[in-house]
Amino acid sequence: MGIFFCSPVCSAEYKPGELIVKFRSAPGSFSAMAGEGAARPVTIAVDNTETALADLQERADVEYAEPNYIVEAEDVPSDWPYDALLWTETRLPQAWDLIGEGGPGEEVTIAVVDSGVDTDHPDLAGILDAGYDFANNDASPEDDSGHGTRVCGIIGALGNNGGVAGVAWNIDVRIMPLQFMKLNEGRTTGSVSDAIEAIYYAVDHGAAIINASWGFTSYSSALEEAIRYARDHGVLFIASAGNDSQDNDTEGHYPSNYGLDNVIAVAALNSYGTLASFSNYGRVSVDVAAPGVGLSSTDLNGGYVELISGTSYSTPFVAAIAAMVKAQADPGITYQALRSIVIDSAITGKTVTIDTIASGGCVDAYQALVAEQTESYPATDTGDTGSTGDSPQQAASGEGGGGGGGGCLIDTSRNPGPTALVLIFLTLAVLFRMPRTSRPE
């Protein structure tokens, strides 16, 4: 796979000779992929990327055309400085006790859109669904880099078997491994077009949650459209915030920055309870933090790995906690309610206070489960909140409703009138009933 740097057509790497195009109607030899009556973008081969892009963008029958960007897994090398794992902030033992008392609950499927998985790993036995490899176009999503296997292990590696335990080890979690990245000259990379196919596949095959531990810096309409499709089908999309120590409110990072209300953007926390030095942040565009330094997980060839770090690994922490909540909740719980519970239950106070992310704290599995049992969250969809139709600039700043605000579904970015202000006040009053500034000693 060739990888070029673009100039001036885009600011990120892309696959030369390919473009992602969405036609307003299917012309000539190009046929849009049908999806419940709506056309989907197609990937086409071109001789010259920049020339073809300019030509297509001038055509009246083209809704959008963009490079086929390269995205990269967001892990950090294993020699990153680390400390002993404490992670008491997440209160996982208490959460596991609650689940032990009440039973594992409903089955929940998480699609891991990544580099595949070690399908024969003993610690993942029995929890892997049939997946697909979009990088190689076959039904065997066998991991060649280890990244996807590590993500899967953090979600649901079997407990009490001498290996490592995943966050959601004692619920009925299913993992759908969807490969779109592979090892490429020492990097785990893949194309946006393959990621898009994987997202549609995940939604169409019953995933409730999608884990996206990867990112890039250029806005893609086609990728946002795929995540909107997930939202319209009630699927929560959990994305890594990135590892560039940047403020995502002012710098582009996708897919975590899309202003859609089914997105949770995840930063990495170190064992001191502060933001990891490599982690991206953003008061608006990054929602929660989770452990992301010095972790252990499953690895290739049935093995295990220690000292892995990155927002790639804090993201499945959050996906697993969301799955724990969904498993215990009313089967009709909406993605909005699930997102709100995860974000609103993040703890803040003496132990963890991160004033550069929206929730201000670390995910708390126990509080999330308690909130699901005690708070009044809607169990059924009250209507489509609708796409905000964000421009790339709005998406980069999180102004469209996708980042922060504890899951507030009212768009406050557009000069609200008196009625809207009243609605915002009442909504915030409901959302912040839950205590978020204290934690049991």
114 has catalytic annotation: yes
pLDDT of residue 299: 96
pLDDT tens, 186-223? 899 999 999 999 999 999 999 999 999 999 999 999 99
Q: For 132-152, write each residue's pLDDT tens digit.
A: 999 999 999 999 999 999 999
Per-residue model confidence (pLDDT) at position 404? 41
Q: What is the pLDDT of residue 2?
A: 44
Q: Radius of gyration over alpha carbons of the chain, in Å?
A: 21
- Residue 389, CA distances (Å) to 216, 252, 381, 401 in order: 21, 17, 20, 11
User: What are 108's strand-pairing partners?
Assistant: 173
Tell me which residue of 169, 139, 131, 172 sits closest to 153, measured CA to CA.
Answer: 169
- Active-site residue among 213, 309, 312, 340? 312
* Active-site hit among 114, 118, 249, 261: 114
Residues of the chain with pLDDT below 50 are 1-10, 27-37, 77-85, 380-441
Q: 75, 123, 133, 147: which is the annotated catalytic residue?
A: 147
Domains of the chain with CATH codes: 4-69 (no CATH), 74-374 (3.40.50.200)
pLDDT of the residue at 378: 53
Task: Give pLDDT, residue 183.
Answer: 94
Give CA 133 to chain center in angstroms: 19
Paired residues of 34 in beta bridges: 39
The predicted pLDDT at position 72 comes to 84
Helix, strand, coil share of the chain (percent; to 5): 30, 25, 50
Closest by alpha carbon to 21, among 38, 4, 3, 43? 43
Question: Is 129 assigned a catalytic role?
Answer: no
Q: Which ranges constitute the DSSP H helices of 105-219?
A: 147-156, 192-204
What's residue 179's pLDDT?
98
Q: How far apart are CA 344 and CA 407, in angstroms?
A: 8
CA 86 to chain centre: 24
Confidence at residue 350, expressed as pLDDT on a 0 to 100 scale: 56
22 near 39, Cβ under 8 Å? Answer: yes
Q: What is the pLDDT of residue 90?
A: 86
